[in-house]
Structure 1
Amino acid sequence: MSTITLKGNEIHTSSQLPAVGTKAADFKLVKSDLSTASLADYAGQKVILNIFPSIDTGTCATSVRKFNEKAAGLENTKVLCISRDLPFAQGRFCGAEGIANVDTLSDFVDGSFGKAYGLDIIDGPLKGLHSRCIVVLDTDGKVIYTEQVAETTEEPNYDKALAAL
């Protein structure tokens, strides 16, 4: 279990993020067209997992926008923006914002991604959603960087995540 905060109030996640140097767990998430994506779909690419509670909050939306800007110039790298939002909400947001350089993926079906990565929030007002995290994978699917943002209303450290690549 990890302790994070939401507006200064303690909340907890189910476990710890995957350790640096370990192989990332495979997943099945839903794309905006309702097809399924898995980690295997990104084999041979560097992957940034931008994970957050909901695309309909200011900080989460900002992280998607910033990674969309930064992803445009990244070679052999894919940014996956993952939440429990419905794929329709993710698609609506990206369409309205002109976001095309990231993939949005939803864990709405059963939350198995959040459980496997140890980042689902288990108490407080955001119970059932994902905590704000970054997990960076190398081309072999090994974890090379992780960050669980201590205060949910704050943004992740984009520069450190990108430097890990």
Structure 2
Amino acid sequence: SFLAVRFHSIMLASAILLLIFSTVLQAKTVKYSGEWFDVMIPSDFTIKPSLNNGSTDTVISAFFISPDQKVAFYIFAPQWSGDPVDIKLKPGVEKEISRTSKRNGGNQITWFSYKNIKTGYTRAYQQTENEEGTSLTIIGIEYDNESAYEKYKNQYLAFKKSLVQYAD
């Protein structure tokens, strides 16, 4: 019975260490800076800059791709407003599956999702625009399937929460 208690203590300690170790691995992030924003991204994601501001090489939108390439996080955060042409609906390939909006203070927040008609690949975004229409931010996630979404959901929520925007 002493050996059984000792064995259970060792197993419990091992499980706790494994949990701590895996949490530390998942929590590793690095700061990515665009022209007018910073976000924290998982350190093992690949950075794919997308749009610049039209006059310089500074980034106003980017994709951050998971190591297994089943998920991508997205940010569009220009200084003011802009046109996120890199995430436009692809007619004939995708369909819009949801769109809802609400006012929050002086902002209009819109959530919208597109789904590939053949593959089921889903893109879901949250767009925040001020009531004057002079400031626009879009943050989102793209994923192959629900299990891929679930696998990266917590990292995505941390990514969303980490967004810091700058103005001049």
TM-score (norm 1): 0.28
More strand, by proportion: 2
Greater RCO (Cα-Cα under 8 Å, separation 6 or more):
1
Compute the TM-score of the two structures, normalised by the length of structure 2.
Answer: 0.28
Structure with the greater alpha carbon radius of gyration: 2
